[in-house]
Structure 1
């Protein structure tokens, strides 16, 4: 099977780009992938190169260059003769869904927006949202979405009911990572927070809640990682320098999966404090190392965590502090109960969110799109 992917790209290490990387890496032995980006993707280009994919940038920021690259893209399609065009995110869905449809190639959209708030989207993206809702009735054969909440939001906006729920998959250790049992007289309860510095991730909630929590429980520690989560970031420094002390460790941007894995292994519990999310990857990443999670009730967090951890209302510091205390007391006083919670978190990820399951579901959708397209042609 030959699949052409078109994704927005740009700077940074976004969730969609990461999911695509894992997908092509895991399935390259059976699928011939070609990946186009609307913008250069410098942070991910080396990773794609390592798995044998040379990204083809359409350079949408340079209009003249984009027109030339678009002509080459159409020529490439005729040469490659893909079985499916898989578009990722709203702009590729709009632009290249139309091209694929005009060439008679089945198109599968990928939608990942966790919020459709008009103020957050802005005017241009709101227009594209509405246009895509209309196009969804005729352009895509299937629409993949990693978030149940996002699916419901898009249906309310008038999107055709062609959705297929495929949660993100994570690389998972073959066996549960073993940590020493806590000793209430000596151990430190280590909390983790992973996410780029932005309003959406609500670092303020985590830092203020942990500071209050730590004032009562001194044998606690906070690891914080993510782009901009460092005192060298002026905005972060201005907001939190007066609060941070030696109970915090700021790790900033993490560049490799191996480094991130080592950070998860140091945690006892992960906290997600976001105001908004679609499908929070950090939850399944942490749980794959047997790290129970506390999360605000955003995106698919409740679905992911289920009964393995704690869900608290968004932007509710008191509720978060209460959850921290509950987790702390269980960790310190009931090591057997905590060990069972760790295994339950690990088992839930194995059963529902492995990279293998994600890839199987994508291939099933592509095959369904091809069969549906062939059936439509025969009817004509």
Structure 2
């Protein structure tokens, strides 16, 4: 079977990485062939996919104003590729890819939804596109895949066809979550953090939906009670050159306990160097970074957003979103535990990922979905 994926772009992000992992997981499956169409540009992941031998096409759309032109080009390209399955990723691609596929005679359309509550951080255009997709969900796709059950519930409420919805969570490539070029000790040495200090890590781009303000306020509260705790922030925009971030840190009067690392290519090593991981978002679908921290074996605390509580499956370590005080209390509680008890929490989390959320499991679910669509055609 030939599967053509349509996605808004191929820069580094949760949906984009999941698409990359999915098609790589089928590399040794002769029954399926994957091709990718980016509505915008190639991006870093597009270059990687091409180097791995996958076909990638770019349509150069710079805004939704060029949607009609992009739709025309997409229809022509789909006719040329003649796919058995058109698998679209996220709202813009769901709309344009769904319309292009159905108007050129391709019925096997799979929509993929990655978000939950886009009212927090989503643009007005994206919210409008979601509404249009809800209206068309009964007609364009044959299946709608959500990355999280909470996402499925939210989208059914806003009008998506419930009879077409199913949940396939993200999958994790465990072998890629083992530190390779950098060790945990090297990360601490690089930052000058002694072995006697406890490290709390946050991983995620600087964005309002990630709510770094709450994390930094909580860190300040913890630092006011313990002088042996350090806080590492990893992700795009988390650099000392960010004035908004620096203002948040200055407000804690504990500037010296924060380490701003920006984007890193050794995130597994950064996680392994830490004693506690915190997810502090105000909205999520299926939080990849939480699963990655669990897979590495880091004890985790999370806000109750999306499927985070379901994924962690440790209710004691789930706090309400936007509550720095509660987050600080949980960080202090976890750091006060004996090392052996905290290690046990991390081991339990790692076992959960290895049992239910590996890429092998998720890859098989997508393959079975594709086959079911072809059989029922």
Q: TM-score range by the shorter chain?
A: 0.7 to 0.9
Q: Which residue of 1 aligns with 2:282?
A: 275
The one-character-per-residue Cα deviations of 1:151-175 (angstroms, maximum 9, x if unpaired) are: 0011111211211101111111499
1:245 deviation in Å?
2.6
> Aligned partners of 1:222 and 1:265: how far apart in 2?
14
1:246 partner SS = helix
The alignment status of 1:124 with 2:125, answered yes or no, reads yes
- Work out the CA distance in 2 between the residues paired with 1:165 and 1:123: 26
How far did residue 252 of structure 1 move? 0.5
Give the Cα–Cα distance (whole angstroms) in 2 for the partners of residues 121 and 69 of structure 1.
22
Q: 1:208 aligns with which of 209, 214, 217?
A: 217
Range with greater deviation from structure 2 (207-216 or 126-135):
126-135
- 1:29 correspondence with 2:19: no
The alpha-carbon deviation at position 298 of structure 1 amounts to 0.8
Say if 1:116 and 1:153, in contact at 8 Å, map to a contact too: no
Does the 8 A contact of 1:176 with 1:343 survive in 2? Answer: no
User: CA, structure 1 residues 174+225, in 2 after alignment: closer, same or farther (shift >3 Å)?
Assistant: closer
Q: Measure how far apart 1:246 and its partner are.
A: 2.7
User: Would you say the 8 A contact 2:152–2:165 is kept in 1?
Assistant: yes
How has the CA–CA distance of structure 1 residues 69 and 131 changed in structure 2, closer, same or farther, with 3 Å as cutoff?
closer
Whether 2:7 is the aligned partner of 1:7: answer yes
Q: Contact 1:293–1:309 at 8 Å: present in 2 too?
A: no
Cα offset, 1:100, TM superposition:
1.7
Q: TM-score, normalised by structure 1?
A: 0.87
- 1:19 maps to which residue? 18
Conserved 8 A contact 2:249-2:255:
no
1:196 aligns with 2:202: no
- 1:230 equivalenced with 2:239 (yes/no): yes
Q: Does 1:113 align with 2:115?
A: yes
* More deviation, 264-273/22-31: 22-31
Q: Give the structure 2 partner of residue 378 of structure 1.
A: none
Contact conserved, 1:108 with 1:369, CA < 8 A, in 2?
no
Matched, 1:314 2:316: no
Q: In the superposition, relative to structure 1, how do residues 186 and 36 fare at CA in structure 2: closer, same or farther (>3 Å)? A: closer
Which range moved further: 56-65 or 275-284? 56-65
- In the alignment, what sits opposite 2:340? 336
Change (3 A) 1:63 1:231: closer
Give the 5 Å matches for 1:104-183.
104-117=106-119, 120-161=121-162, 162-173=164-175
In the alignment, the residues of structure 2 paired with residue 128 and residue 145 of structure 1 have an alpha-carbon distance, to the nearest angstrom, of: 17
What is aligned with 1:80? 81
Q: Number of matched residues? A: 361
RMSD: 2.7
Whether the 8 Å contact between 1:59 and 1:66 is mirrored in structure 2 is: no
Contiguous gaps of at least 5 residues in structure 2: 186-193
Displacement of 1:69 in angstroms is: 6.4
Change (3 A) 1:7 1:273: same
CA gap of 1:342–1:78, structure 2 versus 1, over 3 A, is same
Bigger CA drift: 306-315 or 223-232?
A: 306-315
Partner of 1:39: 40
